[in-house]
Chains A and B, each alone.
Chain A
Amino acid sequence: MDHTALSLIELGAVFFALGVLGRLAGKIGMSPIPLYLLGGLAFGQGGLVPLPDIGGFTHLASEIGVVLLLLLLGLEYSAAELFTGLKRSWMAGLLDIVLNAAPGAAVALLLGWGPIGAIVMAGVTYISSSGIIAKVLGDLGRLGNRETPVVLSILVFEDLAMALYLPILTALLGGVSFFGGLEAVGISLLVITVVLVIALRYGRYVSAIVDSDDREVFLLKVLGAALLVAGLASAMQVSAAVGAFLLGIAVSGSTAHNATRLLEPLRDLFAAVFFVVFGLNTSPASIPPVLGWAVLLAVVTTLTKVATGWWAARRQGVGKLGRARAGAALVARGEFSIVIAGLAVSAGAVVGELAALATAYVLLMAVFGPITARVVEPLARGLQRRRGHGHEPATSSVS
């Protein structure tokens, strides 16, 4: 068989297997991300069936996957929402950073991965998965709950923090000097500010440029613009992902809505490839040695996220059950933890175990997060009943 035929067969097999895994995930009501990672581990070096012929395609496809992940994240928000979200949640957002970045950084330093490893792991444990969380909130019928805006505004804060964090990380991973790093941060801050101002004031013009009534033309223009902006951002050391995120924010209104609908299947496809490639590059044998650390991180960062949500919800006057729900909802980590680890690994600036730890951690958190969100309510009610017995009568209800 020639090379093309072999590549097509392997690629087809991978996609088909992912489809089956995705269906399985849907059946048991969990995020497919951990299964994609497991799929990648199985296909990769040292796995069950190594696939050497699809490297060229999957490499580029996984890059596009990251661009699309961030572009659609940006499309979710309007600039005005970002600003109000930021105003509402900056204190909770800062607490979120401190509590949840610290465990990752601490473990990385303990394992001797140096300051860059610490910054990478800090990002991995910090960022919640807005994709998983938004879906879980919808599935559990909690969109009307009073604590839900608190959860969402923390997610908005995190996504904006990503827009600052990623360029800093890319600069550091590129091994630039301290002043070079400062310069990159300065440039990225400037670019982000300019884009936010453009998005707020002239968002409709940006939308008008990419908009079209013809689906085909629209798809090509949106995708083209995203890749162009991502590429240019990358050339300016601002990270391709952030470029795509900012473009997503600048596009607004019905254009954003249509673009989301059109790009969603593409994102799902390319993001799946991204997770698989990440798994491919991690040898399954490297996971058991770091599994203990992953479990420890999972336990600690579950508690710290719950604490963050609890505190933020209490500030908005939400009751105890609602606070517990807000905390538990934030636990899931997913796509962006892998994006961060993926950036670090592909830059070759960190040790291989970091990828293994990040994989194991996200495997745990992507599965554990939605479960926590589900079981927190019965659990909290049980606790409340036991503790409230005797000295604190339950609040009486009228109806």
Chain B
Amino acid sequence: MNVEVTPLPGIGVRKDFATRNGRRIGVVTHRDGQIELIVSKSDDPDACLASLPLTADEAGALANLLGAPQLVAQLTEEHREVPGIITKQLPIKPNSPFDGRTLGDTAMRTRTGVSVVAVMRAGQVHPSPAPDFTFTAGDVLVAVGTSEGLEGALKILKNG
């Protein structure tokens, strides 16, 4: 997907992409962190039909609605044959000790046997993150493991 990033001097950044039917969808991120969802008009692709201001929570919820269930459903489907293996989403909260540190630093697989199969960031999925993948607050990890392992992983992400 070709996401276009356009600086808006004095205001923030616009990130958008064109859908198959020629509409543009994206977000305008203001300097102060305010997020606006934008959807272009069909008869005038330069203009916006809507520019909806969203709070950080709302934007996160929307991202999850759009991205996460699809991915998790797919993974759950794949692991259904294997009893005892669960797929779960684990958030990196703003106060997490791993905000700004790498996947390798968590030593997740060694400590809990859990595999991180994807990271969702800002509505985009980064599949199969390498050990040097650096987390930031707001990331959601898609992890696969046993239920105890996943519980342990959640604690590690929260407390280090």
A interface vs B, CB < 8 Å? Answer: 76-77, 81-82, 84-85, 130, 134, 138, 141-149, 152-153, 155-156, 257, 318-319, 321-322, 325, 377, 394-395, 397-399
Contacts and interface: CB of A to CB of B under 8 A. Distances in A.
Interface stretch (B26-34, B61-69, B128-136, B149-157): B26-34
Given A143-B28, A143-B36, A398-B42, A325 B10 contact: no
B11 A397 contact: no
B36 A144 contact: yes
B21 interface: yes
A144 B44 contact: no
A206 to B, nearest CB: 18
Contacts of A77: 9-10
Contacts of A142: 47-48, 51
Contact of B9 (A156, A377, A395, A399): A156
Given A77-B9, A155-B10, A397 B43 contact: yes
B8 A143 contact: yes
Interface in B1-37: 6-11, 14, 16, 21-24, 26, 28, 31-32, 36
Contacts of B10: 76-77, 81, 130, 134, 152, 155-156
Given A322-B47, A395-B43, A397-B43, A143 B7 contact: no
Contacts of A153: 9
Contacts of B36: 143-144
B42 A145 contact: no
Interface of B: 6-11, 14, 16, 21-24, 26, 28, 31-32, 36, 38, 40, 42-48, 50-51
Contacts of B51: 141-144
Contacts of A377: 47
Nearest to B43: A397
Of B10, B22, B28, B32, chain A has the most CB atoms within 10 Å of the CB of B10
Contact of A152 (B8, B32, B45, B48): B8
Contacts of B42: 397-399
B47 A399 contact: no
A144 B9 contact: no
B31 A257 contact: yes
Contacts of A399: 21, 23, 42
Nearest to B6: A149
Given A85-B9, A321-B47, A144 B22 contact: no
A254 B73 CA distance: 39
A318 B21 contact: no
A141 B48 CA distance: 7
A399 B112 CA distance: 49
18 contacts: A76-B10, A84-B9, A85-B7, A134-B11, A142-B51, A144-B26, A145-B47, A146-B24, A147-B46, A148-B14, A149-B7, A318-B46, A319-B45, A321-B44, A322-B44, A325-B46, A397-B42, A399-B42
B11 A257 contact: no
Contact of B8 (A148, A257, A318): A148
Contacts of A76: 9-10
B7 A84 contact: yes
A144 B10 CA distance: 14
Given A143-B36, A145-B46, A145-B47, 7 more contacts: A141-B51, A143-B14, A144-B51, A148-B8, A152-B10, A257-B31, A322-B47
Contacts of A322: 44, 46-47
Given A257-B32, A398-B21, A398-B22, A143 B11 contact: yes
Contacts of B50: 141
A319 B44 contact: yes
A63 B143 CA distance: 60
Nearest to A399: B42
A133 to B, nearest CB: 10
Nearest to B39: A144
A318 B46 CA distance: 7
A138 B32 CA distance: 14
Contacts of B8: 143, 148-149, 152
A248 B89 CA distance: 43
Nearest to A146: B46
A257 B11 CA distance: 11
Nearest to B52: A141
Most interface-central of B21, B38, B44 (chain A CB within 10 A): B44
Given A143-B36, A144-B38, A257-B31, A321 B46 contact: yes
A144 B31 contact: no
**What are the 5 A-B residue pairs with the smallest beta carbon separation, nearest first?**
A144-B38, A322-B46, A397-B42, A146-B46, A76-B10
Contacts of A397: 42-43
Contacts of A152: 8-11
Nearest to B44: A321
A171 to B, nearest CB: 28
Contacts of B22: 398
Contacts of B14: 143-144, 148-149
A154 to B, nearest CB: 10
Most buried by B among A81, A82, A145, A319: A145
